[in-house]
Amino acid sequence: MTTPAPRPASPITVLIVDDDPSARKGLLWLVRSAGWQGEVFASAEQFLARPAFSGTGCVILDVRMPGMTGPQLRDLMAGRNISLPVIFLTGHVDVPMSVDAMKKGAVDFLQKPVNDEALLQAIHRALERHAAAQLHRQEVERIQARVQRLTAREREVLEYVIGGCLNKQVAAALQIAEATVKQHRGLVMHKMEVSSVPELVRQCELAGIAPRATAH
């Protein structure tokens, strides 16, 4: 049996959505036997009623359920920015549906009765994906917090710097002294907690900050 990945500070949780009580029971047992926490839901609606999940986890989602189907729930999750990776389980082979699911980011599309090892491997991939996404989001939030510390003028200088402008070009564009640009630039580097322009560019790319056109 595959060994679970090291646990983060908060427990890993696998959320199971299936209208079949026996399937929920079996999946919960498998998840817990692998060392993860598990929660079960008998319907998509029950899953949506759960308080927002903030830890590391994934969703095992049955395709065909009364009321809202698995794919419908996945689409609704995307619309609500619920980033939990999804593993679909189905009792019926549906190639177009499986292709659509994978195009929309599903980790896997497995047929029931599901092979335990295949499911555990899929869960591992899902958890690794979610952990990486969380780290990325946390880094972006840290960068955005640094950007908020900049003054309006420093933000302008930042955008010119990541656009490849020289100090004299920035000075001409903003109609300020080149020495003042150097001062602002130093404050930008300090507040953004970087020691090089390439690192500043990388942070701004992550945060979605667009460079200004090269000044003439």
CATH number, domain of 166, equals 1.10.10.10
Could you tell me if 49 and 108 lie in one domain? yes
- State both tokens at 3: 């060994």
Q: Last residue of a domain, which of 138, 172, 195? A: 138
Domain co-membership, 108 together with 74: yes
21 within domain boundaries: yes
For residue 197, the model assigns a pLDDT of 95
Residues 192, 110 share a domain? no
Domain count for the chain, please give it: 2
Domain boundary among 138, 158, 183: 138
Cα dihedral 122/132/18/90 (nearest 10): -40
Tens of pLDDT, residues 169-205: 999 999 999 999 999 999 999 999 999 999 999 999 9
Which of 92, 111, 138 is the last residue in one of the domains?
Answer: 138
Judge whether 163 lies within some domain. Answer: yes
Output the pLDDT for position 214.
Answer: 63
Q: Are both 164 and 199 inside the same structural domain?
A: yes
pTM of the model: 0.75
Tell me the β-bridge partners of 13.
37, 57
Residues 123 and 155 occupy one common structural domain: no
Report phi then psi at 61, rounded to 5. Answer: -125, 120
Same domain, residue pair 93 and 153: no
Residues 6+ apart with CB under 8 A from 106: 74, 85, 86, 87, 88
pLDDT score for 59? 96
Return the pLDDT at 42.
96
Question: Is residue 49 a contact partner of residue 77, using CB atoms and an 8 Å limit?
Answer: no
Domain extent, residue 161, equals 149-207
pLDDT tens-digit readout, 89-111? 988 767 677 777 777 778 999 98
